[in-house]
């Protein structure tokens, strides 16, 4: 039956009722009842205070750092000795990095085709979307702790229906069909413009993974992007040399930079607010999330190579609304329309701070010849790196 739109009107004198804005993710998070950690960075995920988390069958906390822009989050979970997590499945993606401990994980859509694999400190894997999974601590003495990055905020706010997100029976068999060897660690290297992409479903140890070089990001380091479980989210590992630092740049939100090895710091700042750069000191276990379109830069002030793992909202294969370190802009100068500040264009105060920090730590600045006015030494460049 047709509706006469001319009769649809409201009275200017009608009493209006305020319409509340509902944050479905925040409401779910509140009901989970565990701590919510905020800020710009965390000094050590391995010592973060946790509380009982019944859904996980262990202890845990949410990490919602400023740089996520609300698109993704981090869950830090600890499983007791000889313990196991509660079986669960959900429509949001989840990438898991093992901080401490040894154990195993079972993943399945069909209980008769369960795939189980073992992990230890430094292991990285993704749970195929909506697959059932359960973690097991293999030690009878030590707890096992992991940090996972998820796109739960985006999914819960999109559907605002927890039953749909957590009780949906659909099996994404194009991503995972229970096939043998899915988590064997085998993979294949691909190239997309300047970046190398390792397509796999399991990395045994991100600390020791061999990395190709990439010369355009500076720092004399190496880098590989990792595509896990056909995820829309993605990851990459970067390493850079002692006495050096990477070129500053900016990108979209949601890149959780977890420090794996080395010591140093990162600078974060908004364009036009260079006088108030934020300095985040780090060592293994720290995590930094640069805010959306903030410039940031990573500095190695220790005696050895610095290496980090970045777990991102957008991946290297499936296009997302936010582009994070996809390669097209991360190694391209601002002068050419990219996201990167070249060494010759950076604020001299940045290098002055680096020279002071390396001296304070008994290290050497090896940026002479790369930075105008550098008072350090000439370093031998090993390669490049990506952030």
User: b or e along 153-175 (b: 16 or more beta carbons within 10 Å of the residue's beta carbon)?
Assistant: bbbbbeeeeeeebbeeeebeeeb
User: Which residues make beta-bridge pairs with 134?
Assistant: 106
Are residues 213 and 233 in contact, defined by beta-carbon separation less than 8 angstroms?
A: no
Distance in angstroms (rounded) separating the CA atoms of residues 267 and 273? 12
Task: Please report the pLDDT score of residue 326 as a whole number.
Answer: 43
Q: Indicate the pLDDT class of residue 13, thresholds 50, 70 and 90.
A: confident
Task: Please report the pLDDT score of residue 217 as a whole number.
Answer: 78
Distance in angstroms (rounded) separating the CA atoms of residues 224 and 198? 7
Q: Which of 237, 387, 260, 269 is nearest to 324 (CA)?
A: 387
Task: Please report the pLDDT score of residue 385 as a whole number.
Answer: 42
Are residues 294 and 268 in contact, defined by beta-carbon separation less than 8 angstroms?
A: yes
Average pLDDT on 344-361 reads 95
**Predicted confidence (pLDDT) per residue in 52-98, tens digit:** 999 999 999 999 999 999 999 999 999 999 999 999 999 999 999 99
Q: Indicate the pLDDT class of residue 8, thresholds 50, 70 and 90.
A: low
pTM of the model: 0.92
Task: Please report the pLDDT score of residue 325 as a whole number.
Answer: 41
93/379: higher pLDDT: 93
Neighbours of 49 (CB within 10 A): 9
334/58: higher pLDDT: 58
Least trusted range by pLDDT, from 23-27, 102-106, 199-203, 332-336: 332-336
Average pLDDT on 343-362 reads 95
Name every residue whose Cβ is closer than 8 Å to that of residue 36 and which is 6 or more positions away in sequence: 29, 61, 62, 63, 64
Distance in angstroms (rounded) separating the CA atoms of residues 106 and 227? 20
CA distances from 111 to 131, 184, 302 (A): 11, 19, 48
Q: Indicate the pLDDT class of residue 329, thresholds 50, 70 and 90.
A: low
Average pLDDT on 179-193 reads 90
Task: Please report the pLDDT score of residue 320 as a whole number.
Answer: 66
**Predicted confidence (pLDDT) per residue in 222-241, tens digit:** 999 999 999 999 999 999 99
Using DSSP, how many helices (H) and how many strands (E) does the chain show?
4, 22
Distance in angstroms (rounded) separating the CA atoms of residues 92 and 106? 18
Residue whose token pair is 């329309």: 337
Domains of the chain: 24-166 (2.60.120.10), 188-360 (2.60.120.10)
Q: What backbone torsions phi and psi does residue 98 show, to the nearest 5 degrees? A: -85, 120
Neighbours of 31 (CB within 10 A): 9
Name every residue whose Cβ is closer than 8 Å to that of residue 61 and which is 6 or more positions away in sequence: 34, 35, 36, 37, 48, 49, 50, 51, 75, 76
Neighbours of 3 (CB within 10 A): 7
């Amino acid at each position: 039956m047709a509706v006469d739109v001319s009769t649809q009107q409201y009275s200017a004198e009608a009493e209006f009722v305020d319409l509340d804005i509902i944050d479905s993710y925040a409401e779910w998070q509140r009901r989970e009842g565990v701590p919510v950690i905020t800020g710009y960075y965390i000094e050590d995920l391995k010592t973060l205070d946790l509380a009982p988390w019944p859904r996980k069958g262990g202890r845990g906390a949410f990490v919602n750092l400023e740089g996520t822009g609300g698109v993704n989050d981090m869950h830090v979970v600890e499983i007791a000795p000889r313990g196991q997590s509660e079986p669960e499945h959900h429509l949001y993606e989840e990438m898991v990095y093992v901080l401490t401990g040894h154990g195993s994980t079972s993943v399945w859509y069909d209980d008769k085709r369960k795939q189980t694999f073992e992990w230890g400190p430094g292991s990285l894997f993704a749970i195929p979307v909506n697959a059932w999974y359960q973690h097991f601590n293999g030690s009878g003495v030590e707890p096992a702790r992991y940090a996972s990055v998820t796109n739960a905020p985006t999914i819960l706010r999109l559907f605002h229906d927890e039953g749909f997100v957590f009780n949906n029976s659909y099996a994404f068999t194009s991503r995972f069909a229970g096939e043998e060897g899915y988590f064997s660690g085998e993979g294949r290297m691909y190239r997309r413009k300047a970046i190398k992409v390792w397509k796999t479903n399991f990395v045994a140890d991100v600390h020791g993974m061999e990395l190709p070089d990439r010369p355009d990001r500076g720092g004399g380091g190496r880098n590989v992007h990792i595509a896990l479980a056909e995820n829309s989210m993605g990851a990459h590992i970067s390493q850079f040399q002692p006495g050096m630092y990477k070129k500053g740049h900016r990108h979209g939100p949601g890149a959780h930079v977890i420090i794996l090895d080395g010591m140093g710091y990162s600078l974060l700042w908004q364009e036009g607010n260079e006088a108030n750069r934020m300095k985040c000191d780090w060592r293994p276990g720290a995590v930094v999330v640069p805010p959306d379109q903030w410039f940031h830069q990573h500095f190695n002030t220790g005696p050895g190579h610095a290496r980090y793992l970045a777990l991102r909202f957008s991946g290297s294969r499936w296009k997302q609304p936010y582009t994070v370190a996809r390669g097209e802009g991360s190694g391209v100068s601002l002068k050419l329309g990219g996201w990167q500040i070249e060494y010759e264009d950076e604020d001299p105060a940045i290098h002055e701070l680096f020279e002071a920090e390396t001296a304070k730590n008994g290290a050497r600045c090896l940026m002479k010849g790369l930075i105008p006015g550098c008072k350090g030494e000439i370093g031998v460049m090993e390669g490049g790196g990506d952030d």
